[in-house]
């Protein structure tokens, strides 16, 4: 017998995508991509095809003012499902990747506050039904575009029509090669501070049990990166900005010092091995600067 009542999140995501595209609520940003190898990582670089739509998205955010909150209230046409008494799932309005979900708090909480057990309960409600890549941009320097707390989930693989192992998730082969059986470790070849931890989750695991394991790994990674503050339960912010990346199998945390390099911004997806550039000129600049060097510049340096 199932240990939980399915929320049918994937089907609801598909259905809402169709209706949101038809209504114009979902404003997808078309891209094409190429692979760029650097430091043993096959980076997925997406190049924007329709820069006008991305510019319009930025203009809309600025036009509504610094205090505008797109999640209070959220657009009903982007609503996917209720996840818990404290969280709902929405479609990402300006998505680059198909079926990109946002997990938002119903009431305002700061994007700089620590993730709570409630956040991880909502996250697991999604991940147990969708084999996805989850991430959290902890603060503006980590690439957060909104101050209202929101985790994000993108279905795996990143590139569905590509059979290569790195097409599932570019950084994953490197992480799995260094992943310990238990505890916390680092990826020795990455030239910036980071920490990884294994997860032993199963889709039949109760939400409360899975959330406790996720939170324990999160706290261990914060501590390993000298970022833990307070009791980890209250809304205390972490000691600085960071990116948190996770799948059903592992969790990865990277402290941040800069929002980007030049006009190339970096959020959690960059540390997953996926970067976005606006045009061919930026692509050439990325190739000259090297993706791994850009990640090193926006992270905290470490001796390799």
Instruction: Give the separation between CA 187 and CA 80, rounded to whole angstroms.
Output: 36
- Which pLDDT value is given to residue 218? 97
DSSP 114: P
- Which pLDDT value is given to residue 130? 98
Q: Per-domain residue ranges for the chain?
A: 9-298
- The DSSP element (H or E) to which 37 belongs, if any, is strand 31-38
Fold adopted by 9-298: HIT family, subunit A (3.30.428)
Residues classed as catalytic: 150
- Which pLDDT value is given to residue 54? 59
- Which pLDDT value is given to residue 304? 45
- Which pLDDT value is given to residue 44? 98
How many CB atoms are closer than 10 A to CB 85? 9
Residue with tokens 């575009």: 145
CA 11 to chain CA centroid, Å, is 21
How many CB atoms are closer than 10 A to CB 102? 22
Q: Are 302 and 191 in contact (CB under 8 A)?
A: yes
Q: pLDDT tens per residue, the chain (304 residues)? A: 345 688 999 999 999 999 999 999 999 999 999 999 999 999 999 999 976 665 666 666 666 666 789 999 999 999 999 999 999 999 999 999 999 999 999 999 999 999 999 999 999 999 999 999 999 999 999 999 999 999 999 999 999 989 988 999 999 999 999 999 999 999 999 999 999 999 999 999 999 999 999 999 999 999 999 997 765 555 556 679 999 999 999 999 999 999 999 989 999 999 999 999 999 999 999 999 999 999 999 999 875 4
Residue with tokens 């950084």: 171
Q: How many helices (H) and strands (E) does the chain have?
A: 8, 13
- Which pLDDT value is given to residue 236? 58
CA 144 to chain CA centroid, Å, is 10
Q: In what order do the strands lie in the sheet with 132-138?
A: 79-82, 87-91, 101-105, 150-155, 132-138, 242-246, 250-255, 195-198
Instruction: Give the separation between CA 212 and CA 232, rounded to whole angstroms.
Output: 12
How many CB atoms are closer than 10 A to CB 15? 12
How many CB atoms are closer than 10 A to CB 112? 19
Instruction: Give the separation between CA 96 and CA 76, rounded to whole angstroms.
Output: 20
Q: Are 203 and 128 in contact (CB under 8 A)?
A: yes
- Which pLDDT value is given to residue 239? 76
| Cis peptide, bond prior to residue 73, ω within 30 of zero | yes
- Which pLDDT value is given to residue 1? 34
- Which pLDDT value is given to residue 68? 83
């Amino acid at each position: 017998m199932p240990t939980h009542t399915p929320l049918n999140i994937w089907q609801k995501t598909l259905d809402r995508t169709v209706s949101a595209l038809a209504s114009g609520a979902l404003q997808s940003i078309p891209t094409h991509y190429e692979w760029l190898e650097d430091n043993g990582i096959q980076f997925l670089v997406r190049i924007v095809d329709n820069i006008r739509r991305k510019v319009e998205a930025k203009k809309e955010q600025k036009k509504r003012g610094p205090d505008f909150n797109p999640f209070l209230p959220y657009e009903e046409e982007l609503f996917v499902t209720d996840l818990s008494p404290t969280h709902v799932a929405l479609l990402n309005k300006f998505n680059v990747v198909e079926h990109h979900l946002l997990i938002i708090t119903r009431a305002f909480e700061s994007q700089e506050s620590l993730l709570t057990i409630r956040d991880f309960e909502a996250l697991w409600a999604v991940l147990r039904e969708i084999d996805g890549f989850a991430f959290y941009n902890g603060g503006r320097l980590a690439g957060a575009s909104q101050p209202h707390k929101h985790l994000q989930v993108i279905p795996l693989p990143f590139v569905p029509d590509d059979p290569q192992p790195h097409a599932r998730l570019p950084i994953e082969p490197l992480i799995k090669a260094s992943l310990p059986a238990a505890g916390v470790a680092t990826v020795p070849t990455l030239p910036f501070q980071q920490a990884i931890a294994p997860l032993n989750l199963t889709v039949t695991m109760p939400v409360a049990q899975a959330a406790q394991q996720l939170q324990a790994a999160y706290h261990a990674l914060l501590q390993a990166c000298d970022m833990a503050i307070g009791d980890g339960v209250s809304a205390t912010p972490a000691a600085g900005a960071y990116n948190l990346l996770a799948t059903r199998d592992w969790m990865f945390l990277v402290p941040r010092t800069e929002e980007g390099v030049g006009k190339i911004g970096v959020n959690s997806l960059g540390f997953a091995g996926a970067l976005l550039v606006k045009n061919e000129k930026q692509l050439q600049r990325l190739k000259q600067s090297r993706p791994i060097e850009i990640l090193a510049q926006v992270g905290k340096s470490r001796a390799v």
